[in-house]
Amino acid sequence: MIEQPSEQLRFPYVRFPVSDPFTKRQSVVYRPVIPVILHSRKMALTCQALIDSGADECIFSGEVAFALGFPLLQGKPRVFAGIGGSVIGYLHPTTLHLGRVRFACPIYYSDEWNHLRFGLLGQVGFLSHFGISLDYRAKQITFTPQLSR
């Protein structure tokens, strides 16, 4: 169940420097990355996470699972397949805070994602709690918390 304030939450897009691997040309990209607080029964950890409307589930690295005190391999396993191949993630019940909004969020963790600079927040368990606007021109993300149905 979501504990929810009535006001909208706004976050700026985050600027990331990038380098073209072929030309070595430097540039920047803006991504909808936000700070979230993840809670286990033992620990809380502030993490950066990318809003990923193409992801079905929420995904974070095994390093985050370790920091939260989760026994990674004891979670419920699931295979994730995508453009880069497939990996096994392990589900652990996690509570997520975004601003003053707090709710249970099913999150998969994997050591195969330790190279990711941020977690991924997908449809199930995260985006399902919000109306969301991604305004690239204004470089702003707006969340409207929605009542659980």
pLDDT at 100: 87
Q: What is the pLDDT of residues 54-63, one digit of tens each?
A: 899 999 999 9
In the block, tokens 């897009």 appear at 13
pLDDT at 7: 82
- Give the tokens for residue 121: 């927040």
> Residue 86 in 3-state DSSP?
strand
Each residue's pLDDT, cut to its tens digit, for the chain (149 residues) gives 455 556 899 999 999 999 988 998 999 999 999 999 999 999 999 999 999 998 999 999 999 999 999 999 999 999 988 777 899 999 999 999 998 899 999 999 999 999 988 999 999 999 999 999 999 999 999 999 986 55
> Domains in the chain, ordered, with CATH?
9-145 (2.40.70.10)
pLDDT at 84: 76
Q: For residue 43, what are the contacts with CB-CB under 8 A and spacing of at least 6? A: 67, 68, 69
- Give the tokens for residue 113: 């994602």
Alpha carbons within 13 angstroms on the beta-carbon side of residue 8 total 10
- The rounded distance, in Å, linking the Cα atoms of 14 and 30 is 5
